[in-house]
Amino acid sequence: IQYFNVETVSVAVFQVWNGMFDRAAATALAAVVLVFAMAVILVERALRGRARYDQRGGTSPGVEPVALTGWKRWAATGVCATVVGVGFVAPAVRLLGWSSASVLTAGDGGYDPRYVTYLGNSMLVAGVVAVLCVAVAGVVANAVRLTPDSTTRGLARATTIGYAVPGPVVAIGILLVLAGVDAVADAVGLDIGATLVTGSLIGLLGAYVIRFLAPAVTSVEAS
């Protein structure tokens, strides 16, 4: 929605924090967004009621494949190919074209040798976060399985709220917590400065885990 120039609350939170340097106001806006997201989740759960979806292994006869012939076969293949082409192939080709143009115009500043390093850093962080998300999701899913009471289920659902709130809200929460830890460390005489906030990957990894834990929990629970 940013490409359509829609001023969302997420954009407002970022602008207030980064543009006006008013952290108190940005925190207040983030808290409102968080409360709203939690309210939506609670309403959705209440409307769903006790509905559950379950599939017992081995009891379903399955779906028999239908062999198409003639024009029906080509029509089905064409429809599926169109979806893949419009949804993936065409955008990928366009992006590759722009990237190739940037490489060819390296003398004009289009290509930066640091891109390779940046790509490696991104892949490393993504890999670490994926492993952490699966590990935490395993703990959450097993806790619900071994202790299936309302408190455990409620806490398990609370771990997935980060997926329902905007990224800036998660970022502000992480920054406030780590800034508090730094303040406590300084108060007790640990001279670490702003190490936890800006000097390490702790904050970034924590924010990503909070943001993307919900898909991991869903996948682990289903398996």
Model pTM? 0.66
pLDDT-derived band at 192, boundaries 50, 70, 90:
low
| Mean pLDDT, the chain, integer | 82
Higher pLDDT, 194 or 26: 26
Interatomic CA distance for residues 151 and 210, integer angstroms: 20
Higher pLDDT, 50 or 74: 74
Residue 23's CB is within 10 A of a number of other CB atoms, namely 15
Higher pLDDT, 6 or 80: 80
Higher pLDDT, 7 or 55: 7
The H or E element containing residue 180 is: helix 167-187
Which residue from 2, 208, 203, 3 is spatially nearest to 12, judged by alpha carbons?
2
pLDDT computed for residue 83 by the predictor: 95
Higher pLDDT, 162 or 112: 162
Residue 126's CB is within 10 A of a number of other CB atoms, namely 12
